[in-house]
Chain A
């Protein structure tokens, strides 16, 4: 402890004391209803960290507070009550009881809490329904596939109605296809249930798909905490940078994260010559047209405007209508922006639910975001911070 405080690196502490400090100096707070992902390679201390959160592994120093209560101050009985009612857990290898039926497994937490049998059964059936396992109540874990077994693990955690879910590499033991399915199911469950979830994983893609925020751990220390975008755009150090290189950016970055401020727009009533002047000024081939409440009404390319002026029109009525403008919501993944961007001659418009223009994604921005190009980072950071940045885990809307 003292050695660590004095700043000795972990490797040296290990050789000096013959003990391994698993988690060193990890401070963070998790909001209610947040999906907080802890990512790190094996041995980085993430599993120990999550076990500190329900005191299965009491920390040697420091404070763990759940809902404002310091866990260290709880008596063993109070701690057990907390585990039974407030904080539940899902395990990497499921941790199911092979000698109990599925429903008995799901009802375990309630059984511990001495909930009456009828109510126990009801809640367990409800939880099994949530994870799509209705009809399997009386089977045994050994009769189920890995994915289904982990659904039982999830149902067991949900049945207690705990506010906090600790998921320790919950999907790591599943094969990739099932894992993807489970991730999506967890995301949609989370939208309904709004639990506070601490999810442990060694897979950055999984972390970015699920996490509202991600903590990256290395050798027992948290090296960076941030949203997917923050970690991708501003990796804290080389370790994180080397990690994010392998990430498929098009599937984790959203339109809202990379969009730029809509400078190349003109007001609806300004007319064709204003549009032409704007385009010349910006040296682009097209502009987006908005009304005075910044609602997107359409777009215009240089050809359109030139034609309108030749025909003597004074208004921008005959421009590209709204339906034909490539527009996306801020939650759209970049993967879904690629085709609109290729087909459109004006930058993709990012609009909110009311049709208000939030930002634009010129093709060059899109490409450099996908490439992880540093040259573009400055503008992205500016806009990314000011504008609403949504996360990858939310439902993607159509292009």
Chain B
């Protein structure tokens, strides 16, 4: 009995499946592609329409509101550096892609987490699926994404959503399950319907954990930037990819630094909102 002597044609099956999906679900993929494209390009246009200084001021104001003057100063300086490195356009393009992909990941992931928290069977089915999404090398599903959605920002966004979604679902489930059972019982004992308990008790109490999940989503989305750049999504990913393939170390570094600046800004921003949520609870 030598298992290598037998062949399971998993690859063939996947090929068949992809072929079938291309033939029969084209309308769906086209719809998704058009939708994502509109969102990303709309946001990008919004970022690029005003002069970069206006955007820097807005970013600084948000930073001040979220955390205070130190963070505001840091944001103002780093975003100005980014603009002066000549990476502004690429950075805004990346920012739109990351924000839209993260939003989609959260919009899908959080409800999945909510269902998983309330249903053990669903949870045990969801977990391996999330594992798969996080560990399957992204290049593997990037190819079918190109087949389905063509070259450009959309396959990049789809790959980003697949890779970044798991923490949203996982941490939402965790946060909801961690809510003190007696507090939930107290909600029930006074006749609250399940939805009301979810909306007014469980989600508010799970919010710090959910926010940590959203923070993770954004970080993972940023880490997909280069991959997205490879399939023609443009932005900083393309800059870095160009730098690497042409051995232009300086250009690659400028692109990389810009990714770090955006990453730090988004990380501190979401962390600040998470802190706020947990402060409200422990008060």
**A: which residues have CB within 8 A of B?**
54, 56, 79-85, 88-89, 91-99, 108-109, 112-113, 140, 142-143, 153, 156, 160, 166
Contact = CB atoms under 8 A, between A and B. Distances in A.
Interface string B180-198: 1011011111111100100
B186 A91 contact: yes
Contact of A80 (B183, B192, B204, B281): B192
B191 A83 contact: yes
A80 B185 contact: no
A188 B193 CA distance: 34
B92 interface: no
- Counting contact residues on chain B (CB < 8 A from A), the size range is 20 to 34
A29 B13 CA distance: 66
A172 to B, nearest CB: 13
A82 B191 contact: yes
B201 interface: yes
Contacts of A84: 190-191
A112 to B, nearest CB: 5
Question: Shortest 7 CB-CB distances between A and B: which pairs?
Answer: A84-B191, A95-B186, A83-B191, A80-B191, A89-B189, A109-B190, A95-B182
Interface in B185-225: 185-193, 196, 201, 204-205
Nearest to B205: A99
A98 B186 CA distance: 12
> Most chain-A Cβ atoms within 10 A of its Cβ — which of B180, B186, B205?
B186
A88 B191 CA distance: 9
Contacts of A85: 191
Contact of A99 (B188, B193, B196, B281): B281
Interface of B: 180, 182-183, 185-193, 196, 201, 204-205, 280-283
Classify the interface of chain A: helix, strand, loop or mixed.
Answer: mixed
A159 B183 CA distance: 18
15 contacts: A56-B189, A79-B191, A80-B192, A91-B185, A94-B182, A95-B185, A96-B183, A96-B186, A98-B205, A99-B204, A108-B186, A112-B190, A142-B283, A156-B186, A156-B190
Contacts, number: 72
A140 B204 CA distance: 15
A56 B188 contact: yes
A111 to B, nearest CB: 8
Given A98-B205, A98-B282, A143-B283, A112 B191 contact: yes
Nearest to A139: B283
Contacts of A95: 180, 182-183, 185-186, 189
A112 B186 CA distance: 12
A372 B210 CA distance: 60
A99 B186 contact: no
A88 B192 contact: no
Contacts of A108: 186-187, 190, 192
Given A80-B193, A91-B186, 13 more contacts: A56-B189, A82-B191, A85-B191, A88-B190, A91-B182, A92-B182, A93-B182, A94-B182, A95-B185, A95-B186, A97-B201, A112-B190, A160-B190
B148 to A, nearest CB: 43
> Most chain-A Cβ atoms within 10 A of its Cβ — which of B191, B193, B205?
B191
A112 B193 CA distance: 8
A375 to B, nearest CB: 48
A88 B182 contact: no
A21 B235 CA distance: 63
